[in-house]
Structure 1
Amino acid sequence: MKQAAIDRIWYGGEPAPLWMRMLVPLYRMLRALVQFAWRSGLRKPVRLSVPVIIVGNITAGGTGKTPLVLALIEALHARGWKPGVVSRGYGGSATAPTLLDDNPDPAIVGDEPSLIRRRSGVPVAIGRQRPDAARLLPGAGVDVILADDGLQNPSLARDIEICVIDGQRRFGNGKLLPAGPLRESTARLQAVDFVVCNGGTPQQGEISMVLRGDQAQRLDADAASRKLSDFSGSTVHAIAAIGNPQRFFDSLRAHRIEVIEHAFGDHHGLVKEDLDFGDDLPILMTEKDAVKCIDFADSRCWKVPVSAQLPASFFDQIDRKLRN
């Protein structure tokens, strides 16, 4: 089933077909079995020598975790910490724990870790087994670890849990996978330390996060920058291989840009042929997608970086929890 059809069920009010509804009890049972292994002590989380912050969500698809991780890196640096990031490296081919170099290949280590490493410069480790990957970071000078995703993975002991929700789509129809977008019940929010609301109107107790991006940077050697407003009134191709492509398309239209949409599945491995539209119109893409196009991008290609804006008091609370 295509993602557009799934979105109509999860977020558009269309009823879930019978086969989806029948699979929900199976999903619930499998999750209960996993949780039992950890809660009973049959399996125990790995405790590292430095504190761990989990940044995750309870829905399938993108909610804005990676921009929040980047904002946390900047805020922790400003408060005297030396953060590093651990990720599964989803979409990459690497299986062994790997510490990323300065020019990571997203086909090997995944697009999100590549983006985080290139943009922040902090140590980033990836691995199918998160504890094994995370063990590489203290030796690289890291004194606090940010786990990009992993709220449902209890293998790594954590000191702070942050759940990011999409402020516009929220929890959709409120059903568990596959009939709805929920990885686990919304009751899970009661156990996390912070709930961050990306866009929309935050509910009581939620921390507001806004994504800002008003610049475009060309991907070729020129690396020229332009204001997004410079594209106003013109037509562009827009590429998004993220969990919620519509958010990116809507952000461009907010700058009065005429958008020809090209949505791909999350983490889709973009190739040169994906950019062949038979014309010379500009191509705007997310920063996460841009890291996959560096080797073959031409002068038509522009990335649109975004930055997460949150209250300074949120970062101060994180700092205090770490120091306590």
Structure 2
Amino acid sequence: MNSLWYGNNPLAWLLLPFSLLFWALSSFRRMLYYFHLKKIHHFSVPVVVVGNISVGGTGKSPLVVWMCDHLEQLGYKPGIVARGYGGKASHWPQQVRPDSDPVMAGDEAVMLARLTGRPVCVGPDRPAAVQELLAYTDCDIVVSDDGLQHYAMGRDVEIAVVDGERGLGNEFLLPAGPLRELPGRLRSVDLVISTGSWWDSIPIMKIDDPVALPLLDLEADPQPLAQASGEKVHAVAGIGNPRRFFTLLEQCGLEIIPHAFPDHYQYRREDMQFDDELPVLMTEKDAVKYARFATERHWLVRIAVIPDESFVKKFDELLQDLKHGQEAA
């Protein structure tokens, strides 16, 4: 869909009637919540939603990881809720641990549990996931990975993440374009951040120096990717925007053989058994699913993001306002 949504493909105009139907249905659904004809669930702790208005990967999960670390430094006990997309569990919501099966709980949920060390609960019913998280953990603030359009879940802070490279594409709604909601929705959220230079007034989050870890020993010392500059490697990405991962490796000086897979792809052993001895580098999300097949040549690339100071300052101010509001109540 990249050529359709992020290019000048005339087919997009032919799909506009379907986008109009999508807009009508989604707007009607949102109005049901606005006029309290459908219930919005509110909770005893603040809820921070990190989402986007477009489909595909925009970098939400790395921001969620940063946010949990930042909240802990401020004295909070964060927990995470997510969709658990791709999970095949027979009942929901599901509590997720670092050693949970990604086939059952979903790859992103297990990844978040491993990277943050915080409680994670997933399920298609986002309010039920929040309620279960609060019932069985000591969380005093909830971060929702995605969920901007899950209006049944009450929220105190909304953060929208935009892909700085692709932006909003042709700015059409699905299926003619990549948008779940119209661009004007960005004016109603509390904060907007992009994964690269998009608009001058929008803060960005930069990627800290990425490192590689062998899948067979994740406790090993991380190896800075910059030290491997000039090496030829296989690069594997089954995420919303594989090109972003490939570009990252190229910027570190690596010569890559790219292998793009569909988002949330369930790997088989043979998918990463190439007929040479080159190292195989993959994203953290892919590593969660491929670890059981790993050999010494398989490595994950771990990244961390650093938001602009302007974003951090505004986020902290929003948290202070929430705290003061709770004290007043």
Structure 1 length-normalised TM: 0.94
Note the C-alpha offset of 1:288. Answer: 1.2
Q: 1:92 to 1:202 in 2, by over 3 A?
A: same
2:106 paired residue number? 110
Note the C-alpha offset of 1:17. Answer: 4.8
The answer to whether the 8 A contact 1:215-1:304 is kept is yes
1:229 paired residue number? 226
Q: Which of the numbers 149, 154, 158 marks the counterpart of 2:155?
A: 158
| Counterpart residue type for residue 268 of structure 1 | Y
Note the C-alpha offset of 1:299. Answer: 0.7
Segments of 4+ in structure 1 off by > 6 A? none
Work out the CA distance in 2 between the residues paired with 1:222 and 1:49.
Answer: 37
Q: 1:179 to 1:201 in 2, by over 3 A?
A: closer
User: After superposition, what is the alpha-carbon deviation per residue over 1:173-222, rounded to whole angstroms, capped at 9, x for unaligned?
Assistant: 11111111111101101110001111124432x22211224210010137
Matched, 1:143 2:140: yes
Work out the CA distance in 1 between the residues paired with 2:83 and 2:230.
Answer: 40
Q: 1:39 to 1:60 in 2, by over 3 A?
A: same
Note the C-alpha offset of 1:39. Answer: 2.2
Q: 1:252 to 1:151 in 2, by over 3 A?
A: same
Q: Which of the numbers 156, 169, 173 marks the counterpart of 2:170?
A: 173
Give unpaired runs (5+ residues) of structure 1: 1-5
SS at the partner of 1:99?
Answer: strand
2:327 paired residue number? none
Q: How does 1:86-105 map to 2 (within 5 A)?
A: 86-94=81-89, 95-105=91-101
Work out the CA distance in 2 between the residues paired with 1:208 and 1:38.
Answer: 31
Work out the CA distance in 2 between the residues paired with 1:152 and 1:53.
Answer: 13
Note the C-alpha offset of 1:117. Answer: 0.3
Work out the CA distance in 2 between the residues paired with 1:76 and 1:195.
Answer: 18
Work out the CA distance in 1 between the residues paired with 2:124 and 2:210.
Answer: 35
Work out the CA distance in 1 between the residues paired with 2:155 and 2:194.
Answer: 21
Work out the CA distance in 1 between the residues paired with 2:53 and 2:113.
Answer: 25
Moved more, 191-200 or 28-37: 28-37
Matched, 1:28 2:62: no
Q: How does 1:235-254 map to 2 (within 5 A)?
A: 235-254=232-251
SS at the partner of 1:137?
Answer: helix
Q: 1:174 to 1:123 in 2, by over 3 A?
A: same
Work out the CA distance in 2 between the residues paired with 1:152 and 1:272.
Answer: 36
2:323 paired residue number? 323
Q: Which has the higher helix share?
A: 2
| Counterpart residue type for residue 215 of structure 2 | L
Work out the CA distance in 2 between the residues paired with 1:203 and 1:222.
Answer: 38
Q: Which of the numbers 37, 41, 44 marks the counterpart of 1:49?
A: 44
What fraction of aligned residue pairs are identical, expressed as a percent? 41
Q: Which of the numbers 277, 288, 305 marks the counterpart of 2:302?
A: 305
Note the C-alpha offset of 1:172. Answer: 0.8
Structure 2 length-normalised TM: 0.92
Moved more, 313-322 or 111-120: 313-322
SS at the partner of 2:128?
Answer: helix
Matched, 1:216 2:212: yes
| Counterpart residue type for residue 216 of structure 1 | A
SS at the partner of 2:15?
Answer: helix
Q: 1:80 to 1:290 in 2, by over 3 A?
A: same
Work out the CA distance in 2 between the residues paired with 1:274 and 1:116.
Answer: 24
Moved more, 269-278 or 295-304: 269-278
The answer to whether the 8 A contact 2:12-2:177 is kept is no
Note the C-alpha offset of 1:271. Answer: 2.1
SS at the partner of 1:294?
Answer: helix
Work out the CA distance in 1 between the residues paired with 2:316 and 2:303.
Answer: 22
Q: 1:227 to 1:182 in 2, by over 3 A?
A: same
Work out the CA distance in 2 between the residues paired with 1:24 and 1:134.
Answer: 32
Matched, 1:292 2:293: no
Give unpaired runs (5+ residues) of structure 2: 325-329
Q: Which of the numbers 9, 14, 17 marks the counterpart of 2:4?
A: 9
Q: 1:119 to 1:87 in 2, by over 3 A?
A: same
The answer to whether the 8 A contact 1:199-1:211 is kept is no
| Counterpart residue type for residue 104 of structure 1 | S
1:3 paired residue number? none
The answer to whether the 8 A contact 1:58-1:163 is kept is yes
The answer to whether the 8 A contact 1:56-1:151 is kept is yes
Note the C-alpha offset of 1:72. Answer: 0.6
The answer to whether the 8 A contact 1:85-1:124 is kept is yes
